[in-house]
Amino acid sequence: MTQAASPVSQRGALSHLRVLDMSRVVAGPWAGQTLADLAARVIKVERPGAGDDTRSWGPPFLPAADGGAPRDSAYYLSANRGKKSVVIDIAKPAGQALIRQLSRSCDVVIENYKAGDLERYGLGYEALSRENPGLIYCSITGFGQTGPMRNVAGYDFVIQAMGGLMSLTGERDALPGGGPQKVGVPVADLVTGMYAAVSILAALAHRTQTGQGQYIDMALLDVQVAMVAAMSMNYFVSGRAPGRYGNAAANIVPYQTFIAADGELVLAIGNDSQFAKFCEALGVEYASDPRFARNADRVRHRDTLVPLLAAELKRRSVSEWVDLLQPLGVPIGPINSLGQVFDHPQVIARGMKVDVSHPLREHLPLVASPMKLSVTPTVPAVAPPMLGQHTRAVLREQLDLSDAELEQLTAAGVIQ
């Protein structure tokens, strides 16, 4: 039964929230960006001069439309849409005072300093929550606030290695190009950012019932260990650590890349019914062969079945196989470049590329939020801020500072 559409709210789901984002690089900014997409007012606090480390992680850098010097990196632009940038020097007492004042009017603080760093400045959870008991304070570090590595810096690449992901990613050692590989994007950072956002929303839900704030301790290593998921259970159940399968899967066959007549494709058959449809379309009888009838059989006889399928799939082009198999419910797809991704009719139909205005250029393409809510949709994308773009406006609005006070803070190097 089709339900009547609910009216779309004119306010985003989190429009009542203020977030003080004191994080940089990826995991923390990704959490803040997720909240900003849902209409939270996110104030990004950056250090004087350089700002977020990723502003310099290039090339490529965003070129100015007027031919001026390029500024922020594409890397920075990917994780900071919808925020307001405020530059405050927290090493100065006056800067610390500004952060304390801002935190009193905020619902959430996100930070990813090393364990204990902000406590030295009087900006840790205990200090800020005394003045704002309902504060949700989310700390993101490589290894968490406890344990023997609590003071060790952690970056995504190291975490992918230590957390087991690289032992599962890459071609098998015996094959050309074999060896461990990292994932092409910083998945430990990105998934930690999403877990952080979920944890923040859970803490906010608790606060609505109790008025009580809380501290959230997020660690990249914890998240990486968790997201290995089924491979960990393979290890627990079998007692053997899984190895690398390249573009194949440990527990499902056929679930890998194949070479077609004009390129590579992915075939991802997840059940026996799909395999039967696939075999019927190919005109082969492998689905009735007792070696291949069930997935467990196919896994056991992988080395026999895969070469047979590979020979069949070389007979047609990628597009021919996609056109034949997708309508039958057989999971198959081309391996697209990013250019092909953003030209794909489905990606276009879903609105995953948006065009926004930026201070350096009239049109800046951004990736859109993937969250689709019927009543409280995400807010229209706003360009990531330039360094210190909103310092004066935010401090004037939230702290009621006068122009004279702002000038004094600027002259003292506290703000920029």
Q: Which residues are designated catalytic?
A: 189
Q: Are 21 and 28 contacting, i.e. CB atoms less than 8 angstroms apart?
A: yes
Euclidean distance between CA atoms 245 and 178, whole angstroms: 10
- Which candidate, 256, 288, 249, 250, places its Cα nearest to that of 272? 288
Euclidean distance between CA atoms 23 and 70, whole angstroms: 24
Q: Are 312 and 301 contacting, i.e. CB atoms less than 8 angstroms apart?
A: no
Tokens of 91: 């090493």
CB neighbour list of residue 172: distance below 8 Å, 6 or more residues apart: 178, 243, 244, 245, 246
Q: For every residue of 16-39, which 3-state class applies, written as one string?
A: CCEEEEECCCCHHHHHHHHHHHCC
Euclidean distance between CA atoms 414 and 47, whole angstroms: 10
- The distance from CA 121 to its chain's CA centroid, rounded to whole angstroms, is 29
- The distance from CA 150 to its chain's CA centroid, rounded to whole angstroms, is 23
- Which candidate, 317, 273, 263, places its Cα nearest to that of 295? 273
**Going by DSSP bridges, is the β-strand pair 353-358/108-111 parallel, antiparallel, or unpaired?**
unpaired
Euclidean distance between CA atoms 218 and 189, whole angstroms: 11
Q: Are 12 and 21 contacting, i.e. CB atoms less than 8 angstroms apart?
A: no
Residue labelled with tokens 């034949």: 324
Instruction: Please spell the DSSP secondary structure of 214-245, one letter per residue.
Output: EEEEEEHHHHHHHHTTHHHHHHHHHSS-----
Residue labelled with tokens 């026999």: 304
Inter-axis angle of helices 93-104 and 391-399, to 10 degrees? 60
Amino acid making up residue 283 = G
